[in-house]
């Protein structure tokens, strides 16, 4: 448990304090589930008072959305610096690998949170507006930029982006439900097949 309240402790910026609280909430939600977790437990994990949490987040729902935003969007934005955008296959491979890494690393948290998103109408609406829509926008902008560069054919970027995100999310949903025969496949194999489907489709390529 961290504690930033002692004498001589470094005074945290607003962003650092929010991150500290979100890190604690992530641990508590993953271990206890969203409904069973309390802000008192999150505060104890963060090493702050319970009131401090409410200085930054209005409710557990706000914590959940903020966590989901960080989970879904931060690593996407970091992909800009991974492979050169001109190398489309490398970029899409990095994108799909990142999404599978996220699923594997945070499966306990996703298992605790996704049922809430599926059954709570208000929470689902917030998730769509604040998490899914920005992720789709980011991916759509990339698809449009590659289309303008002549790398991709003309397409509806919003539809294709949703299909790409949905394809990866479907693996996570299946893993939430029960063990799958896909568990016997390496992540590299899964990524290769998904990327090949995105970039090459199902038709036999001229080189084959």
Domains of the chain, earliest start first:
1-57 (1.10.10.60), 60-200 (1.10.357.10)
Considering only CA atoms, which of 1, 41, 34, 38 is closest in space to residue 20?
A: 1
Whether the per-residue pLDDT at 176 is higher than 80: the answer is no
pLDDT of residue 49: 94
Tell me the pTM: 0.75
Mean pLDDT of 43-57: 94
Measured distance CA(150)–CA(159) in Å, rounded:
19
Distance from the Cα of residue 4 to its chain's centroid: 28
| pLDDT band (50, 70, 90) for residue 81 | low
Q: pLDDT tens, 111-132?
A: 778 888 888 898 889 989 998 8
pLDDT of 52: 94
Q: How many CA atoms lie within 13 A of 5 on its CB side?
A: 11
What is the token pair recorded at 113?
A: 């949170």
pLDDT at position 207, please? Answer: 64
Where b means 16+ CB within 10 Å and e means fewer, 129-151 reads ebbbeebbebbbebbeebeeeee
Does position 87 have pLDDT exceeding 90, yes or no?
A: no
Please give the Cα distance from 48 to 42 (Å, whole number): 9
Residue 183 gets which letter from DSSP? G
> Which pair of structure tokens corresponds to residue 88?
């489309």
Q: What are phi and psi of 37, to 5 degrees?
A: -70, 145
């Amino acid at each position: 448990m961290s504690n930033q309240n002692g004498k001589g402790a470094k005074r945290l910026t607003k962003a650092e304090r929010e991150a500290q609280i979100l890190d604690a909430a992530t641990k508590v939600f993953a271990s206890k589930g969203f409904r069973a977790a309390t802000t008192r437990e999150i505060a104890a994990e963060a090493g702050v008072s319970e009131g401090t949490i409410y200085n930054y987040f209005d409710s557990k729902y706000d914590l959940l959305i903020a966590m989901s935003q960080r989970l879904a969007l931060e690593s996407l934005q970091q992909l800009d610096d991974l492979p050169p955008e001109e190398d489309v296959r490398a970029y899409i491979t990095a994108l799909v690998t990142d999404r599978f890494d996220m699923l594997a690393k945070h499966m306990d948290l996703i298992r605790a949170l996704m049922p809430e998103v599926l059954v709570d109408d208000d929470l689902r609406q917030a998730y769509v507006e604040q998490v899914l829509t920005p992720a789709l926008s980011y991916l759509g902008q990339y698809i449009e930029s590659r289309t303008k560069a002549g790398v991709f054919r003309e397409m509806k970027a919003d539809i294709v982006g949703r299909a790409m995100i949905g394809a990866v999310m479907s693996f996570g949903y299946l893993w939430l439900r029960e063990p799958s025969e896909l568990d016997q496949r390496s992540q590299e194999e899964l990524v290769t097949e998904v990327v090949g489907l995105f970039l090459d489709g199902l038709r036999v390529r001229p080189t084959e």
